[in-house]
Structure 1
Amino acid sequence: MLLLGLLAAWLWRDQRRARAARLGAGFSLGVAAYVLCAFPGFAAWPMALRAPLLAASAGNAVLFWLFASALFDDEFRSRRGHALLWALPAAGGALNCTGVLARQAEILVGHGITLVTLGFALAALAQTLSSWRADLVERRRWLRGFIVGAGGVYTLVTMLGRLPGSGAGGGPPGTGLADALLLSAIVGVVVWRLGGVGATPLLPLDEPAAAVDAPPPAAPFEARAADTPVAATATPPDPQEDRLLATLQRVMHDERLYRQPGLTIGALANRLAVPEYRLRRLVNQRLGQRNFNSWLNGYRIADVRAALADPAQAEVPVLTLAMDAGFTSLGPFNRAFKAETGTTPTEYRRLSPQEQSAPGRLGLADG
């Protein structure tokens, strides 16, 4: 428990610019509360102590889901509704220790908290898996595997043990503390890995920098300074990697391979005749990208922006331009375009050429 508190303090002190770190600190404290709730004799503690600990323990599955979302989705943003999602099971956990509910109501609330815990734990695992293939940060990919493996096994074992039980806790006697200690060990490994030293920051910051490999709309397929390494290192240049980077630039800028619908990093690696891990490392470390799909969409959106600014294509429907650029449906394209430019494609088309390229207004024009 003390270790979890120290880990939470470390995350808050050294990594607080990252939303995932703040949520991770809260999650660590929630697990510490869960450990305390599992201590023998906890039921005899004063209610003023038990209520906040049970609240933190009951709402911690929501924090786990938010933590996984913030850690593995670079575009994640906190919303006010997230606090409400945490407050509902937390209130149930605190209410169950007050003695104001009938015994049957306590049992129902306890089972409800268990089901909520299971649901959010599975949602966190689904979030962890959803963009695994497109993740370019190698250390973060390792963390996904650990969370899916260890977290999945823990969730299934503990939830299956709790559901048949009675009361708010349920499960065979004596298993609560063992579950809590196992969860503490899992969280300790996760937080330890978050603090590992690496060339690429593991935690996305609250305000991520603009994409460094996004082609400008006026000349979207020319070689750019952004295609050079994002930071100088002591490692001497690798001629083989330089050749791979030049080939990647050619197929993306000249052949416009990004226009291929459903292009995956595996398909691109096959096209370049290199192992997938080498391509991930190149795009991550040389181009500063964290997610393959976001990097790919930067090319596609720049393609559409150039077409929208072209008077000769003024009558071409936006959907046609999006499909030609490689998008497979209008909804995801509109969301990606709005996120990159701050405006819808239709509104963008109405802007003057000066407004379309104004620095500070449209994401791809910056830098």
Structure 2
Amino acid sequence: MPLESLDLALRAAAIALLAMLAVSLWRDLGRQLVGRLAIALALGSAAHAATFNIGGTAAPSLAFAPMIALATADIVVLWLFCRALFDDGFAPRWPHALIWLGVFGFSLTSCLVLGPAGHARLVIVANNLLALGFVGVTLAQTIRSWSADLVEGRRRVRVFVVIAAMAYGGVNALLQIASAGSGPSELANVVNAAMFLAVVGAVVLMLLRVGAGELFAPEPAQAVAPEVAAPRAADRRLVDALMRLMADERIYRHENVTIGMLATRLSIPEYRLRRLINGELGYRNFNTFLNNHRIEEAKAALADPAQAEVPVITIAMDAGFQSLGPFNRAFKTVTGVTPTEYRRLRLSTA
């Protein structure tokens, strides 16, 4: 089979898988933020499969320019998708949309203005430098929040995101930059298409094995901590010991509390403690588990008339928060009101 035909076949297979994935996600998760972002990521990835050209020298056509811009801006969608997938409390804001529009507009302008003006190499380099930047940000946030994740299936997905982002996203961008202006390479395009198809196929298999429900089920916003399910007999002792650390020793007050620290105190492996907090207590994130205990203490202090003159920041720091901003955000997420409003409401009815 000629290399050009093989390249087209690999691209077509990847686009078909992405289309199937988008339809499946729309059917099952179209109403969830992370599901909609996954669909957008799949569509942008399809645009990338249709438009990448290693070593291309010609300016993109008018018809292809919007698709190239969509493919470039898809790296922003990847960043937002990973934020939504790995951070249950993530909520998109208008600056996120502006960032996507900025990248899309920059890429589109580059294709329509710089490309026809004889600066095709500059267009390729600029677009792929943008991609490299967002790959780096995505990797950083994925690795930074890894230790607090309690969902085993989602932790395995982090491994995949890191490998795929480095092995394909980074390598593809560097290859595009290094080959820009050197002339189209059929072999390079075939290798790139094969790598891309492998990543897409791995995503589909991963969702079949891990289960989209486990990965994409967000932690519901609620006014109280998750209800503690009755633990199995084998885990009851560990649950009791963990709750004693929380209630009696108030270990959540300590600075830089980690799941490894708690596991050491309980003399069990980290994976077992993650499974216990996630499966038996209903938390998907370790920081949420700690913060709910901190907020319960803060709520009691704010409702205490004897502490009416104690500054809110003092109460926050005593409960284990390191600064006022994260405390205010976490408190409002759990209670629906700010700490000051909560204190005023409770003291007015005391």
Residue pairs, 1:36-55, within 5 angstroms: 36-38=50-52, 47=61, 49-55=63-69
CA shift digits 1:298-339 (9 cap, x unpaired): 010110110010011112222222122111222322222232
TM-score under structure 2 length normalisation: 0.84
User: Number of matched residues?
Assistant: 335
Q: Secondary structure at the match of 1:334?
A: helix
Q: Measure the CA separation in 2 of the matches of 1:322 and 1:276.
A: 28
DSSP 3-state at the match of 2:283:
coil
Q: Which has the higher contact order (CA 8 A, sep 6+)?
A: 2
Matched, 1:341 2:335: yes
Amino acid in the other structure paired with 2:194:
L
Report the CA distance between 1:195 and its aligned residue: 4.5
The reply on whether 1:118 has 2:132 as its aligned counterpart is yes
- Residue number in structure 2 paired with 1:363: none
What is the SS of the residue equivalent to 1:76? coil
Residue identity opposite 2:234 in structure 1: Q
Query: Are residue 10 (structure 1) and residue 11 (structure 2) matched?
Result: no
What SS class does the counterpart of residue 181 from structure 1 fall into? helix
CA contact (8 A) 1:11 1:21 kept: yes
- Aligned-partner residue type, residue 165 of structure 1: S
**What TM-score results when the alignment is normalised by the length of structure 1?**
0.81
Structure 1 gap ranges (5+): 215-225, 230-236, 357-367
Name 1:20's counterpart in structure 2.
34
Change (3 A) 1:108 1:18: same
Q: Distance in 2 between matches of 1:55 and 1:124?
A: 19
Q: Which range moved further: 331-340 or 47-56?
A: 47-56
Percent identity among equivalent residues? 47
**Structure 1 residues 152 and 197, CA, compared in 2 at 3 Å: closer, same or farther?**
closer
Q: Secondary structure at the match of 2:215?
A: coil
Decide whether the 8 Å contact of 1:35 with 1:177 is kept in 2: no
Match of 1:306 among 286, 300, 310: 300
Does the Cα contact within 8 Å between 1:211 and 1:295 map onto a contact in 2? no
Instruction: State the distance in 2 between where 1:201 and 1:329 align.
Output: 32
CA contact (8 A) 1:258 1:300 kept: yes
Q: What is the aligned partner in structure 2 of residue 72 from structure 1? A: 86
Going from structure 1 to structure 2, the CA distance change for 1:46 and 1:107 (only over 3 Å counts) comes to closer
1:112 deviation in Å? Answer: 1.7
Q: What does 1:1-367 align with in structure 2 at a 5 Å threshold?
A: 1-38=15-52, 47=61, 49-98=63-112, 101-167=115-181, 174-196=187-209, 201-205=214-218, 208-210=220-222, 213=225, 226-229=227-230, 238-353=232-347
Say what the alpha-carbon RMSD is for the aligned residues. Answer: 3.0
The structural deviation recorded for 1:81 is: 2.7
> Equivalents in 2 of 1:129, 1:287: separation in Å?
25
Distance in 2 of aligned mates of 1:81 and 1:329: 24
Residue identity in the other structure for 2:68: L
CA offsets, 1:198-229, max 9 Å, x none?
69722134x82427645xxxxxxxxxxx2224
Deviations 1:257-309, CA, capped at 9 Å, x for gaps = 22222211110111111111111001111111100001110010110110010
- Contact residue 212 and residue 289 of structure 1 kept, 8 A: no
Cα distance, 1:227–1:97 mapped onto 2, change above 3 Å: closer
Q: Distance in 2 between matches of 1:200 and 1:242?
A: 27
Q: Secondary structure at the match of 1:157?
A: helix
Query: Structure 1: which amino acid aligns with 2:222?
Result: A
Spell out structure 1 runs of 4+ moving beyond 6 A. Answer: 42-46
Cα distance in structure 1, aligned partners of 2:57 and 2:184: 16
Q: Is the 8 A contact 1:31 1:184 kept in 2?
A: no
Q: Is 184-193 or 131-140 further displaced after alignment?
A: 184-193
